[in-house]
Amino acid sequence: MPVAIVGVGKIARDEHVPAIAADPSFDLAATVSRSGGLEGVENHETLDALLQARPDIPAVSLCMPPQVRFKAARAAIAAGRHVMLEKPPGASVSEVLTLDRLARRAGVTLYASWHSRAAAGVAMAQAWLADKRLTSVRIDWKEDVRKWHPGQDWVWQPGGLGVFDPGINALSILTAILPAPVHLTEAQLSFPENRDTPIAAELTFTDGADLTVAAAFDWRQEGGEIWQIEVETDAGTLRLTEGGARLAIGDADQGVASPGEYPALYSHFASLIAQGASDVDASPLIHVADAFMLGRRIAVDPFHD
């Protein structure tokens, strides 16, 4: 099936293009980019131009920053195309819920992807936790923003989410592996004096009963990233490390393996299209919005790229 990539930035080049190239269901037929696209691939300056020129492309994958994703998704759905959204699926929770309704009404597939849910250890973690009694969860999600978002000014703009841009990956795993939902009770957000989004966050969640989840997100990490989730249960400790790519239960590494996150996303997108289904779970973004609403803000040192 021909597919088009809309927004040819770092994530498209690093992940989407190779994943599509390796996928037997999809062919990369075109791109949309104002700044030129990819060597050897048909490019259109605007999504509207693509939609008009290529009615034979039934699916689009939207990789632009979240602040402009709704308009593109709406246009693609209105033109009868299946749509895959990079994370976060939008700049607001409301727009994601609206897209979900529009896609259902139009009878097309909408897939709000969460790449970290496709990390090798996540499915097994979820299955193992399903019948355990959980007592606490500790999340550490810390990386160097200069390494992972070099020059990406949009992450510092309102709607760009700041440290929640990586942090939402942890929340997408958390919401996938917990047997019951949690909600935020407290948050502290550290805003650099000169920026509109936080560089660090401390979050506390509860299930309303015995389970507490504590999360620390930080973009000021130097010397190697830490992306891990540790779950204490009545049957021992479960540890997801390396962003979910490794899973240990107690002291035993489970040796999980996967074809890679983005190949798994495209495989799921193909299967949703084949089934005429959608997959839109806004819960990670809802937790982020809750953190901004409930969070106490503190001002910290200015950040300069």
Catalytic residue positions, numbered: 87
Tell me the closest approach of the beta carbon of residue 210 to a copy of itself, in angstroms. Answer: 13
Cα(206)–Cα(225) distance, rounded to whole angstroms?
A: 26
Residue (244 or 284) nearer to a copy of itself, CB: 284
Two tokens, residue 17: 């293009």
Give the footprint of a copy of itself on this chain (CB under 8 A). Answer: 70-71, 74, 90-95, 97-98, 101, 158-159, 161, 181-187, 191, 196, 208, 283, 286-290, 292-297
Residue (6 or 161) nearer to a copy of itself, CB: 161
Tell me the closest approach of the beta carbon of residue 295 to a copy of itself, in angstroms. Answer: 6
Ramachandran angles phi, psi of 18, nearest 5°: -65, -35
Residue (235 or 286) nearer to a copy of itself, CB: 286
- The beta strand positions in 88-142, using DSSP E, are 110-112, 134-142
Tell me the closest approach of the beta carbon of residue 189 to a copy of itself, in angstroms. Answer: 10
- Nearest of 224, 267, 250, 8 to residue 118 by alpha carbon: 267
Residue type, 116: S
Cα(212)–Cα(204) distance, rounded to whole angstroms?
A: 7
Residue (35 or 105) nearer to a copy of itself, CB: 105
Tell me the closest approach of the beta carbon of residue 206 to a copy of itself, in angstroms. Answer: 9
From residue 261, give the alpha-carbon distance in Å to each of 52, 135, 138, 168, 268: 31, 29, 23, 15, 11
